[in-house]
């Protein structure tokens, strides 16, 4: 019960801060546009950092994985860790001690301890792996303190929060990157390479998803991801977690770099899965059975772009079904689809039959970044190596003074699909407009290249 009390106290105390911040910053997107005084952040380059001094906030399962990955990378030093949950913080400290490195500062005393971390003079970049509601306050605090902010997915929960990230990144000239690791998977990097080689012709349609049976998270009541994530399904109805499937697709389509999302429609199925699971797994008077789940088991959203292309995005974490992100891309000369991987290209086989032999395609189109670090990434682990490639690449960019592959506009745009889907569902599937967080810069921003 001590664990539970610690988390509840932490979230309750922080809740007052978040509520005040929300009241102070709530405004229409149009007002937010007028409020911005910073220069555009597209292609933002920051001074080189030969050694990156990292502060990490949130050392749970995800945060500990980041600690272990950063320990493998040259030019990185972990100088501070923060988590109010003592056992989680201790595991992070133990991993650093095991590596034979200097013990970092350990901040664990209360919900405001992260503020002391971002103010430290020995921290250059802050990596945030906390419950979703905390991402924006912590990222904004880090950037205002002069640090680069790297935020787990989704970067923001509301449209207002998306605008806050954009405004602060532009005004402080600090990087704000959402850590969408799937953009660095081997297959996703290969498809990006194929797109840049125009293998599929003109791109017309894509499909993305996060379909993942997470009902067991209901059992994480006192601590763990389910202790805070399940609550979202009790109060939100839409695609609350869109970016794993959407991020790579957005890069294929040059979203914010030649095209942009313009409008969205969304519908949800009945909400049954979490309720039925709770009835089966918990006593009738348990909190999980007293809860009311409103998020439809399956949410399907359709996004249209300025160039007229369409993207289907789905979300379902409440149904018995094997994991998939779909990762489907259609062009005028061919298509790729994931789970399982398959491809068809006009002039390179029968277009009525999928080619499931991927080895020849890897041989021709494996992304240079994966060729460079993929072997080490697989050894390091982390979702098949994508976690390591992501961190390796962002460290390379910080040390060499290069623009990041994902910028604050990507973080805002990809995350915004969640609150926009909620709006559309609440309006019976009516179309909603997608804000242009770049304020027109998408027309002139160069597409993401094939980085090496």
Confidence of residue 169 (pLDDT cuts 50, 70, 90): very high
Mean pLDDT of 352-357: 98
* 246 and 365 housed in the same domain: yes
Residue 43 lies in a domain: no
CB 137 within 8 Å of CB 130:
no
Distance, CA of 164 to CA of 412 (rounded, Å)? 9
Question: What DSSP line would sit under 213-267, residue for residue?
Answer: --GGGGG--SSSTHHHHHHHHHH--S-S--HHHHHHHHHHTTBTTTB-EEEEEEE
Mean pLDDT of 198-227: 98
Last residue of a domain, one of 163, 179, 195: 179
Please state at what angle helix 135-144 crosses helix 2-25, rounded to 10 degrees: 70
Determine the pLDDT at residue 37.
53
Closest CA to 394 of 59, 163, 148, 77: 148
Mean pLDDT of 39-64: 97
* 172 and 187 housed in the same domain: no
Beta-carbon contacts of residue 93 (< 8 Å; ≥ 6 apart): 81, 103, 104, 106
Host H or E run for residue 312: strand 310-316
Which residue did the predictor score with more confidence, 14 or 421? Answer: 421
* 219 and 285 housed in the same domain: yes
Report the 10 Å Cβ neighbour count for 355.
16
Q: What SS3 state is found at 31?
A: helix
Confidence of residue 16 (pLDDT cuts 50, 70, 90): very low
The two three-digit tokens of residue 231, written as one number: 């609550």
Specify the residue for token string 């979300």.
Answer: 315
Report the 10 Å Cβ neighbour count for 309.
18
Distance, CA of 396 to CA of 49 (rounded, Å)? 10
Question: What DSSP line would sit under 95-156, residue for residue?
Answer: HHHHTT-PPPEEE-SSTTHHHHHHH-TT-SEEEE-S-GGGHHHHHHHHHHTT-EEEEPSSS-
* 65 and 198 housed in the same domain: no
Segment 30-45, tens digit of pLDDT: 333 434 457 899 999 9
Q: What is the mean pLDDT of the chain?
A: 93
Q: What SS3 state is found at 62?
A: helix
Greatest Cα pair distance in the chain: 64
Mean pLDDT of 429-448: 97
Segment 404-424, tens digit of pLDDT: 999 999 999 999 999 999 999
Backbone angles phi, psi at 120, to 5 degrees: -65, 140
* 241 and 357 housed in the same domain: yes
* 282 and 349 housed in the same domain: yes
Determine the pLDDT at residue 451.
75
* 299 and 196 housed in the same domain: yes
Confidence of residue 214 (pLDDT cuts 50, 70, 90): very high
Residue 123 lies in a domain: yes
Segment 326-338, tens digit of pLDDT: 999 999 999 999 9
Distance, CA of 50 to CA of 76 (rounded, Å)? 9
CA 35 to mean position of chain CA atoms: 26
> Does the N-terminal peptide bond of residue 362 adopt cis geometry, omega within 30 degrees of 0?
no
Determine the pLDDT at residue 7.
44
The two three-digit tokens of residue 362, written as one number: 């890897």
Last residue of a domain, one of 155, 179, 203: 179
Determine the pLDDT at residue 20.
37
Distance, CA of 143 to CA of 170 (rounded, Å)? 10
User: For the ranges 13-17, 42-46, 348-352, 360-364, which has the lowest average pLDDT?
Assistant: 13-17
The two three-digit tokens of residue 256, written as one number: 């914010």
CB 250 within 8 Å of CB 413:
yes
Assess whether pLDDT exceeds 70 at residue 247: yes
Number of residues written out for the chain: 452
* 168 and 260 housed in the same domain: no
* 350 and 429 housed in the same domain: yes
- Domain containing residue 147: 48-179
Is the Cα torsion angle 447, 329, 411, 322 positive or negative in sign? negative
CB 342 within 8 Å of CB 355:
yes
The two three-digit tokens of residue 315, written as one number: 């979300």
Residue 7 lies in a domain: no
CB 225 within 8 Å of CB 261:
no
The CATH code of the domain that includes 158 is 3.40.50.720
The two three-digit tokens of residue 146, written as one number: 């002069």
Backbone angles phi, psi at 335, to 5 degrees: -150, 155
Confidence of residue 111 (pLDDT cuts 50, 70, 90): confident
Number of domains forming the structure of the chain: 2
Assess whether pLDDT exceeds 50 at residue 26: no
* 226 and 78 housed in the same domain: no
Residue 448 lies in a domain: no
Beta-carbon contacts of residue 431 (< 8 Å; ≥ 6 apart): 263, 264, 265, 424
Assess whether pLDDT exceeds 60 at residue 248: yes
Mean pLDDT of 398-408: 98
Determine the pLDDT at residue 452.
67
* 173 and 218 housed in the same domain: no
Residue 386 lies in a domain: yes
* 281 and 373 housed in the same domain: yes
Mean pLDDT of 381-401: 96
Residue 257 lies in a domain: yes
Assess whether pLDDT exceeds 90 at residue 6: no
The CATH code of the domain that includes 213 is 3.30.360.10
Last residue of a domain, one of 133, 162, 179: 179
Segment 290-306, tens digit of pLDDT: 999 999 999 999 999 99
Mean pLDDT of 173-179: 98
Segment 134-158, tens digit of pLDDT: 999 999 999 999 999 999 999 999 9
Mean pLDDT of 77-87: 97
Residue 336 lies in a domain: yes
């Amino acid at each position: 019960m001590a664990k539970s009390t610690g988390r509840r106290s932490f979230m309750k105390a922080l809740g007052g801060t978040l509520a005040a911040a929300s009241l102070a910053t709530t405004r229409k997107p149009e007002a937010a546009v007028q409020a911005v005084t910073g220069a555009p952040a597209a292609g933002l380059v920051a001074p080189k950092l030969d050694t990156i001094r990292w502060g990490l906030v949130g050392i749970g399962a995800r945060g500990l994985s980041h600690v272990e990955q950063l320990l493998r990378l040259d030019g990185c030093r972990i100088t501070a860790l923060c988590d109010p949950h003592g056992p989680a913080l201790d595991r992070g400290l133990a991993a650093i001690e095991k590596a034979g490195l200097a013990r970092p500062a350990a901040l664990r005393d209360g919900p405001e301890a992260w503020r002391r971390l971002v103010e430290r003079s020995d921290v250059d970049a802050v990596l945030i792996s906390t419950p979703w509601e905390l991402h924006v306050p912590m990222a904004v605090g880090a950037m205002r303190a002069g640090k680069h902010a790297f935020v787990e997915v989704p970067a923001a929960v509301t449209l207002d929060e998306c605008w806050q990230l954009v405004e602060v990144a532009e005004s402080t000239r600090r990087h704000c990157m959402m850590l969408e690791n799937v953009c660095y998977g081997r297959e996703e990097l290969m498809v990006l390479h194929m797109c840049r080689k125009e293998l599929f012709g003109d791109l017309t349609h894509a499909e993305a998803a996060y379909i993942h049976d997470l009902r067991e998270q209901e059992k994480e009541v006192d601590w763990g991801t389910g202790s805070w994530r399940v609550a979202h399904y009790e109060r939100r109805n839409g695609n609350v977690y869109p970016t794993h499937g959407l991020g790579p697709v957005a890069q294929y389509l040059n979203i914010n770099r030649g095209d942009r999302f313009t409008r969205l429609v969304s519908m949800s199925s009945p909400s049954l899965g979490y309720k039925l699971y709770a009835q089966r797994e918990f006593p009738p008077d348990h909190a999980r059975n007293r809860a009311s789940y409103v998020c439809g088991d399956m949410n399907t959203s359709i996004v249209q772009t300025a160039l007229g292309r369409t993207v289907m995005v789905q979300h379902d974490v409440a149904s018995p079904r094997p994991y998939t992100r779909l990762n489907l891309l259609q062009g005028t000369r061919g298509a790729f689809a994931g789970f399982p991987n398959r491809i068809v290209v006009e002039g390179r086989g029968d277009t009525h039959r999928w080619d499931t032999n991927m080895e020849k395609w890897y041989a021709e189109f494996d992304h240079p970044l994966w060729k460079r670090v993929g072997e080490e990434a697989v050894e390091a682990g982390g979702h098949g190596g994508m976690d390591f490639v992501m961190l390796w690449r962002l460290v390379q960019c910080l040390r060499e003074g290069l623009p990041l592959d994902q910028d604050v506009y990507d973080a805002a745009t990809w995350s915004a699909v969640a609150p926009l889907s909620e709006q559309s569902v609440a309006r019976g599937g009516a179309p909603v407009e997608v804000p242009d967080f770049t304020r027109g810069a998408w027309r002139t921003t160069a597409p993401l290249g094939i980085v090496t």
